[in-house]
Structure 1
Amino acid sequence: MVISSETHTVSYGEEEGEFYYHRIHRTKPFERNNHYHGTYEIYYLVSGERHYFIKEKLYSIRAGDLVLINKFDVHKTSGHGDPEHERIVINFSDSFLGKGHPLLASGLLGMFNQDRPLLRLTVPEQTIIMQILNKMADEIRERSASYEHMLQVLLTELLIKTYRLTHSASLPANVSMNPLHQKITDVVKFIHAHYADKITLQGLSETFYISPFYLSRIFKEITGFTIINYLNLTRIREAQRLLTDTDLKIVDIAESIGFESLTHFDRTFKKIMNMTASQYRKFNSVP
């Protein structure tokens, strides 16, 4: 745990671990490259304004907004106006609340898979959420007996309150209509729909009527990825699903998601996941 009064930081756990809590107040420009992780994420903006790129859309978020990000969804925050802002991030794994989530109502985590990642909360709703988040910070600071169990209880309460808000909170902020962002959104959607096909920078350039150089530059600028890296990431995410949910041979999975050789697939999978496809299947197989 790290606590710094200078930056108002409360930090606990690891982003890819079972439970992670991080609160920070920043006064200088901050931008994190596009990334994804195998944990669920809850992002709450305490103050300030930010841009948030999630999967294929860019959102403008303001103080009091709550963002839900599913496992393996690509996302990135960046500045919007005054760089000063304060935010709280929580990540948690499937295993943190116990096998089968005994404390959770059936289907509760499905809210992370909805096409509505941003909730705009009223002041009373913000108060409810902040009370829970502050209690978590208190538990982390004090580390009283069974504090980890209390974090589980508080996370469960947060999830239930948030689930209720998905049915009552305001609609998400409008997606940015900046023509450049819209163009990249269309490119990302195209990659999601055609990742199994042969996709090249030249082909995308011709499809979207934009020069290869300019497309490559603005895609990296907005998403944080090169086009080939984003394409490979999309393909590997689908490979993860097929490795977990099907009995397809690895060579057949590689071919079905657009890799021309098993060697290239193996090399790409290991680079992104830090393990081989066979290891991933073994670790994620149901006993």
Structure 2
Amino acid sequence: MTAYLEYTDSVNYPNLKKGQLPFYCLTNLLKDDIPLHHHDFLELSFVMNGYGTETLNGITHELKPGSISFLLPHHIHEIHTNPQAPLQLFCCMFDISLIFESTTDADLGRILLQAGNQLPSYNDLNENEAREMNLLCSAIANEYHSSKIGKYSVIRSKVIEALVLYTRSYSTAILNQSNNQSANMKKLDWEIIQFVHTNYLNELTQDGLCKKFNVSPAYISRLFQKVLNIHFLDYLHLLRVRRATSLLLTTEMSVLDISVDSGFDSFRTFSRVFKEHTGMSPRVFRKTSSESVS
């Protein structure tokens, strides 16, 4: 069966009103699979009951009670549920600005932006962590469906608490690696990196960043070298190639369509950059990956 990538725009979810927190949550009992898709908001999901699998950016992992996943904008995923034990899944979907609204959350935000890279995108919570996350999910849902004064302030604080629990569930070694990448950063620096993360599928240039944030090309170069140890263009290519590899592994889209969907302005550039990062052409990568799992 051919898999096609679906796109979900965040504005289709909460139908936000002025002054409202860009946030949406729901608890689903999944009796059917969720097809391959991506969206322009962050998503935190937690398995309350049931079993299945999730393929996230081309990597498949088991879903069971206590499993938690965190997706950045445009991460690609699909879910397969077990008909004998359907997944009960709690999901929070929110704008990336939520984790940068307060300077006190800067360290957490910097770590979360590395999900799928230095920080894994999923984990299985232990018994105590899962119990705490269940309570947080219930509290978030109760506030979300209430009309109490200050509900969005409470929701934001509970979501931040849930994200902290998610990050703390990883080993100290993993968190130290993420922290080392994000130390001593200015607010402007993370605004720039955040913008790249949410717009890498669009036309994006160093000159464009300079104009948008009123900084020099040298500033952009130093920023990416200091924080990510990589040049801006190389990092942009890395994000796009990571997306392309996910599409090659999880869909039957043509290589040409994947090059366009991944943000490349020409197929020739896509082929060259992809080979530089993976050591093989997109077609060979897809063929080799298919043979390794057959």
Please report the TM-score for the alignment, with normalisation by the length of structure 1.
0.55
Identity of aligned residues (%): 12
Aligned to 1:14: 13
Aligned to 2:269: 256
Q: 1:97 to 1:121 in 2, by over 3 A?
A: closer
| Separation of aligned partners in 1, 2:159 and 2:243 | 37
Matches within 5 A, 1:200-211: none
Aligned to 2:262: 237
What amino acid maps onto 1:85 in structure 2?
A: L
What amino acid maps onto 2:130 in structure 1?
A: Q
What amino acid maps onto 1:161 in structure 2?
A: L
Q: How many residue pairs are counted as aligned between the two chains? A: 187
The SS at the match of 1:60 is strand
1:24 aligns with 2:23: no
Q: 2:29 touches 2:88 (CA, 8 Å); kept in 1?
A: yes
Q: 1:80 to 1:194 in 2, by over 3 A?
A: closer
1:226 aligns with 2:248: no
Of residues 67, 71, 74, the one that matches 2:73 is 71
Of residues 84, 97, 112, the one that matches 2:115 is 112
Of residues 118, 125, 150, the one that matches 1:121 is 125
| Separation of aligned partners in 2, 1:21 and 1:117 | 19
Aligned to 1:102: 103
Q: 1:56 to 1:234 in 2, by over 3 A?
A: farther
| Separation of aligned partners in 1, 2:144 and 2:150 | 11
Q: 1:46 to 1:168 in 2, by over 3 A?
A: farther
Could you list the per-position Cα deviations for residues 40-77 of structure 1 after superposition, in whole angstroms to 9, with x for gaps in the alignment?
11111100101101111111111111112222111000
Aligned to 1:187: none
Instruction: Kindly state the Cα deviation for residue 97 of structure 1 after the two structures are TM-superposed.
Output: 4.5
Instruction: Kindly state the Cα deviation for residue 152 of structure 1 after the two structures are TM-superposed.
Output: 1.1
RMSD: 3.6
Instruction: Kindly state the Cα deviation for residue 140 of structure 1 after the two structures are TM-superposed.
Output: 1.5
What amino acid maps onto 1:80 in structure 2?
A: N
Q: 1:52 touches 1:58 (CA, 8 Å); kept in 2?
A: yes
The SS at the match of 1:137 is helix
Q: 1:42 to 1:234 in 2, by over 3 A?
A: farther
Q: 1:235 touches 1:258 (CA, 8 Å); kept in 2?
A: no
| Separation of aligned partners in 2, 1:164 and 1:234 | 36
Aligned to 1:285: none
Flag structure 1 segments of 5+ consecutive residues without an equivalent: 1-12, 171-190, 197-218, 240-251, 260-287
The SS at the match of 1:63 is coil
| Separation of aligned partners in 2, 1:153 and 1:23 | 19
Write 1 or 2 for the structure with the bigger share of helix.
2
| Separation of aligned partners in 2, 1:73 and 1:233 | 14
Could you list the per-position Cα deviations for residues 109-147 of structure 1 after superposition, in whole angstroms to 9, with x for gaps in the alignment?
235233622211111110111111111011022220010
Aligned to 1:42: 44
| Separation of aligned partners in 2, 1:143 and 1:194 | 40
1:132 aligns with 2:131: no
Q: 1:65 touches 1:118 (CA, 8 Å); kept in 2?
A: yes
Q: 1:65 touches 1:121 (CA, 8 Å); kept in 2?
A: yes
Aligned to 1:62: 64
What amino acid maps onto 1:256 in structure 2?
A: T
Instruction: Kindly state the Cα deviation for residue 83 of structure 1 after the two structures are TM-superposed.
Output: 4.4
What amino acid maps onto 2:68 in structure 1?
A: L
The SS at the match of 2:257 is helix
The SS at the match of 2:52 is strand
Please report the TM-score for the alignment, with normalisation by the length of structure 2.
0.54
| Separation of aligned partners in 2, 1:94 and 1:234 | 26
